Structure 1
Amino acid sequence: MAESVQISNRQSTIQIIRAASSDIISTLGGDTFSFAMGLMLLHRTHSAISFGLGSIIYPLIGLLLVMPVGNLVDRRRHKPLILLSKATVIVALVLYAVLTANINDPMLLAVLLLVVIACCDKVTNTTFTAAVHELVNDKHVKTLATIEQAATAGIQLLSPILAAALYGWIGFSGIIRVEIAAEVLVLLIALSMHFYPLPAEDVPDTDGGEWQQFKIGLVYIKNRLTLRSVVVLGVGLNFLLSSIDVGLPYAIVQERHLGNANLSLVMSGFAGGILVGNLILSVLPSFKKVLLAVLRLCVLTGVGITLLGIIFLSTLTGNYLVVGLIVWAVAIGLVLAFINTPMSVYMQMTVPTKLLGRVGSTFSTLMTLALPAGTIAYGAFFQNFPAGPVYLITGLLVICYTGYQLVRTLRHEKVNRQIGQE
C-alpha cells in the first residue's frame, strides 16, 4: 500500500473527535429510534419479527447494492457521498413522521423507511471505511477504530434505557422528531470534517464495466486467507447469531413478561461489554494472528449462547433472571468487541486504499448475507418453541461450526510451518 498523505497528529486528533461525536449522536438517535420502533411494532402486531426487520432488510439491501456502491465509493469523492446520503435519511424521516399518523399498516411503512435508511447507510458506512486514510494518519487508524467503537458502545449502553423512557414520556411520534434533529446535527458535523487528498496508488485496475471493476475486490478477498476465512465463517455464524437479535426481545417481553424496562437493561448490557472490550483493546497491541484469535473467540461465543439456553431452562424468575441475563449480555458484548474491532483494523491496515470501497462493501455484505434467512427462521422458532431449547441447540451448533473452522485453520498453520522448515 502506498503511504497516505502526511496528516499531522493534531489534525488526526481533531478528526477523531469529530468522527466520534458524529458516531455518538448518530448511534444515540438511530438506536433509540430503532428500539422504539421495535417496541411499537411488537405491541401493535405481537410479532416476534418486530425487532428483526433490520436484520432482514439491511443484508438484502447490502446484497443488491454491493457492486454499485463499492464501485461508486472507489470512483467518487467521499465527502459529497456522505452528505448526500445523510440528507436523504433526513427527508425520509420527515416523510415518515407525516405519514405514520395517516397509515393503518405500521409494518409496511416501517419496512419502506428501513429500505431507504439501509440504502443510505450502505453508502455512508462504505464511504467512511474507504476514507479512513483521508481522515487520520496511519498511527491513528487503530485509535480511530477503538474510540469510535467505544464511543458507540457507550451510547448503546444508554440508548435502550433512554428509548424505553422516551417511549413512555413523549411517545413514538416524539422519538421520530428527536431522530430527525439528531440526523441534522450529524449532517452538520460531516460538513465540518476535512477529507485530505491521497496520492495515486499502484493498484491494478480496469476500464471495463461495473462487474470488471467490482471483480477486483472479490479477487483480493479470495487471495487473502484471513479475509476469505472470516467471510466463510461469518455467513454461517451470522445465521445462528440472528437468534439473539430476534429471540431475546421476544423471550423477555412476550414469553417471560419482564417488561420493556428490563429488556432495555439487558440490551444495554451488550453495549456495556463492547465498551469495556474496546477500552481494553485501546491499550493492547494489535493481534498478530487475527484469524486464530477470532475463531477462538467465536467458539467462546457459542459457549455463551449455550449458557443462555441453560438460563432460560432454569428455574430463575423475576429479578434473578434479569440479573443473570444482564451479566450474560455484558460478557458476550466483551467477546464481540474482541472479534469486531481487530478485524476492522486489520482490513483498514492491509487493504489498499483504492480498493477499500469495493473490498469493504463486499466484505460487509457477505458477512451479513445469512441474516435475513436467520431472522425469518428464528422468528418462526421463537413463535412456536420456548427460548431455552432454541438457544441451547443454537449454542451447540455455533461451537461445532466454529470449532471445525478452528481445527482446519490450525492444521493449515501447521502445514505452513512444516513447509517453511523444509
Structure 2
Amino acid sequence: MEVQITNRQSVIQIVRAASSDIISTLGGDTFGFALGLMLLHTTHSALSFGLGSIIYPIVGLLLMIPVGNLIDRGHHKPLILTSKALDIGAYIVYALLADRVANQMLLAILVLTFIACCDKVTNTGFTASIHELVNDNHIKTLATIEQAATAGIQLISPVLAAALYGMIGFDGIVRVEIAAEISVWLITLSMRFHPLKAAETKEVSAATPADQTSQSDQPRQSGAVKSATQPAQTQWQLFKVGLRYIWNRFTLRSVVIMGVFLNFLFSSVDVGLPYAIVQTRHMSNTSLSVVMSGFAAGILVGNLVLSMLPTFKRVLLTILRLSMVVGGAIFALGMLFMSTLPDTQLVLILVIWALLVGLTLAFVNTPMSVYMQMTVPTELLGRVGSTFGTLMQLAVPVGTAFYSIFFQHVSAGPVYAMTGIVVLVYIGVNLLIVQQKLAAGKQIDD
C-alpha cells in the first residue's frame, strides 16, 4: 500500500528541494561561467561557452536508455546519492589536475563528460521521484518554486562568477563548487523518499490500446507473478515502453519534434551572445555577466507569476504562441547587432531583451514540466523524462558546433536575423496546423 504524503511533509520536502536547487545551481552556474571565461580567454574560441551544450546532450543520448531503465527499476535515493558522490569526486580530481595539465580544453571536456554522466542519473532520478517527495496538490508548487529559486540564483551567478574570477581565480571557484556539491549531497541525504509501487505492477498503463485490452483482466497483477510468467525484458524493450508513450501522445510528440528543431536554432544565442559581446564588441566580462543575468531575472519573474495562475489547459497551443515571441526576439537581436549603438546603450537593451526572453521561456518550460508530472504515469517518469529531455537536447551539439563556426566567419547581426525568420516560419506553420485541429473539434492535449 502506498504511503500517503501529508501537506506538512510536502512543504518540508519543497523547502529541502528548493535549498538543494539553490546551492547546486549557484555552484554549478558559477563554475560553468568561470570555465567558459577561462577557456574563452585561453583559446579565443566561440566554442568555449558552448562546451557543455555539446557534451551534455551527447551524454544524454548515449545514456538515455540505460539511465531511464535504471531509474524506473531501482531505488531513487541511493542512485541519486551515489551519482552526486561521484560528481564530487570528479570536481576534486579536476582541482588537483587543473594546474598540471597543459591542454585545458581536453581536460575540461573529459571532466565535463564525467559530470554530465552523473548529472544525467541525478536529474532523471529527481524527475521520477516527484511523487515520492510531495503529494499531487504540491506538484505545481514544487515545480514553480524550484524554477523560481533556480532562476533567482542564475540571476546573480554570472555577476558572482565574474567577481570571483577576478578575486580568487578559477582554481578558487572550483573549490567553491566542491563545497557546494557536498552541501547538496547532505541535503539530499536528509530528504525522505516515500517509495511507490514497483514499476512492474503498472507497465500496463503505457501499453497501446490493443495491449490494454488484452491485459485489462489483470491490472493489479503483482510483479512477482508477472516476472514468473514472462521472460526478462531487455534494456531496449523497457525503454521502448516510454518511447511509445511519447509517440502516442500528440502533445508530447509535437513538443519533442519542435524542441529538437528549435534547440538547434537557439544554440545561436547560447554560443553567439558571449562571443559577440566579448570577442566581437570587446566588452568586459562584467557586461556579459549582466546580460546573462537578464535571462534568469526573466525566468524568476515568470515563475513567480505562474505560481499565482491556474494550470494551463492547452499546453501545446501556449508553447507555440510563446515560441513565436522567441522567434521574433531572435530576429530583433539581429537588428540590434547590425546597429551602431554605443556599448552602454547596447548592454542596457540586451539586458531588457534577455529579461523578456527569460520571461517567455518560463511560460514555456514550467507548464510543460507540470503537464508531464500530472499526466505521465509515475512508473514511467524515469524513461519518459529521460527520453523527453534527451530528445529535446539532441540538436544542441550540432547547433553549437554549427554556430561556433558560423559566428567566427559571419557577423552576429545577419546570423540572428536569419535564425529569427526561420523560427517564425517554422512555428507559424505548426501553429496553423494545431489551430486547424482545434477548429475541427480534435483534442490536442492528451
Q: TM-score, normalised by structure 2?
A: 0.92
Q: Matched residues in 2 for 1:371 and 1:415: separation?
A: 35
Q: Note the C-alpha offset of 1:149.
A: 0.2
Q: Note the C-alpha offset of 1:198.
A: 1.6
> Which of 389, 394, 414 is the equivalent residue of 1:389?
414
Q: Deviations 1:122-161 (Å, cap 9, x if unpaired)?
A: 1011000000000000000000000000000000000000
Matched, 1:372 2:370: no
Q: Matched residues in 2 for 1:216 and 1:410: separation?
A: 30
Q: Matched residues in 1 for 2:20 and 2:78: separation?
A: 16
Q: Which residue of 2 aligns with 1:165?
A: 163
Q: Matched residues in 2 for 1:403 and 1:77: separation?
A: 43
Matched, 1:268 2:293: yes
Matched, 1:9 2:7: yes
Check the 8 A contact 1:5/1:199 in 2, yes or no.
no
Q: Matched residues in 2 for 1:113 and 1:18: separation?
A: 28
Q: Matched residues in 1 for 2:18 and 2:114: separation?
A: 24
Q: Which residue of 2 aligns with 1:202?
A: 202
Q: Deviations 1:307-333 (Å, cap 9, x if unpaired)?
A: 111111112112100000000000000
Q: Matched residues in 2 for 1:34 and 1:416: separation?
A: 47
SS at 2:99's partner residue? coil
- Which runs of no fewer than 5 residues in structure 2 stay unpaired? 208-229
Check the 8 A contact 1:292/1:406 in 2, yes or no.
yes
Q: Which residue of 2 aligns with 1:278?
A: 303
Q: Which residue of 2 aligns with 1:77?
A: 75
Q: Matched residues in 1 for 2:439 and 2:243: separation?
A: 27
Q: Matched residues in 2 for 1:417 and 1:269: separation?
A: 39
Q: Which residue of 1 aligns with 2:335?
A: 310
Matched, 1:343 2:341: no
Q: Deviations 1:346-397 (Å, cap 9, x if unpaired)?
A: 0011000000000000000000000000000000111111111100110111
Q: Note the C-alpha offset of 1:203.
A: 2.9
Matched, 1:211 2:209: no
Aligned length: 416
Q: Note the C-alpha offset of 1:414.
A: 2.1
> Which of 82, 86, 89 is the equivalent residue of 2:87?
89
Q: Which residue of 2 aligns with 1:40?
A: 38
Q: Note the C-alpha offset of 1:401.
A: 1.0
Q: Matched residues in 1 for 2:65 and 2:426: separation?
A: 29
Matched, 1:227 2:252: yes
Check the 8 A contact 1:222/1:228 in 2, yes or no.
yes
Check the 8 A contact 2:202/2:379 in 1, yes or no.
no
Q: Note the C-alpha offset of 1:4.
A: 6.3
> Which of 113, 130, 133 is the equivalent residue of 1:132?
130
Q: Which letter does structure 1 place at the counterpart of 2:366?
A: T
Q: Deviations 1:94-146 (Å, cap 9, x if unpaired)?
A: 11111111110000000001101110111011000000000000000000000
Q: Bigger CA drift: 402-411 or 388-397?
A: 402-411
Q: Matched residues in 1 for 2:333 and 2:4: separation?
A: 49
Q: Note the C-alpha offset of 1:417.
A: 4.6
Check the 8 A contact 1:203/1:352 in 2, yes or no.
no
Aligned runs of 1:139-154 on 2, under 5 Å? Answer: 139-154=137-152
Q: Deviations 1:32-60 (Å, cap 9, x if unpaired)?
A: 00000000000000000000001100000
Q: Which letter does structure 1 place at the counterpart of 2:147?
A: Q
Q: Matched residues in 2 for 1:199 and 1:94: separation?
A: 37
Q: Matched residues in 2 for 1:89 and 1:134: separation?
A: 23
Q: Which residue of 2 aligns with 1:119?
A: 117
> Which of 333, 357, 380 is the equivalent residue of 2:382?
357
* CA RMSD, 1 decimal: 1.2
SS at 1:416's partner residue? coil
Matched, 1:331 2:356: yes
Q: Which letter does structure 1 place at the counterpart of 2:123?
A: N
Matched, 1:61 2:59: yes
SS at 1:258's partner residue? coil
Check the 8 A contact 2:50/2:400 in 1, yes or no.
yes
Matched, 1:99 2:124: no
Q: Matched residues in 2 for 1:52 and 1:412: separation?
A: 38
Check the 8 A contact 1:4/1:137 in 2, yes or no.
no
Q: Which residue of 1 aligns with 2:153?
A: 155
Q: Matched residues in 1 for 2:117 and 2:197: separation?
A: 29
Q: Note the C-alpha offset of 1:409.
A: 1.3
Q: Which residue of 2 aligns with 1:409?
A: 434
> Which of 278, 281, 291 is the equivalent residue of 1:256?
281
Q: Which letter does structure 1 place at the counterpart of 2:397?
A: P
Q: Matched residues in 1 for 2:77 and 2:239: separation?
A: 21
Q: Note the C-alpha offset of 1:10.
A: 0.5
Q: Matched residues in 2 for 1:28 and 1:318: separation?
A: 28
Q: Note the C-alpha offset of 1:283.
A: 0.4
TM superposition outliers: structure 1 runs of 4+ over 6 Å: none
SS at 2:192's partner residue? coil
Check the 8 A contact 1:35/1:163 in 2, yes or no.
yes
Q: Bigger CA drift: 397-406 or 203-212?
A: 203-212
Distance 1:4 1:403, change over 3 A: farther
SS at 1:202's partner residue? helix
Q: Matched residues in 1 for 2:102 and 2:195: separation?
A: 49
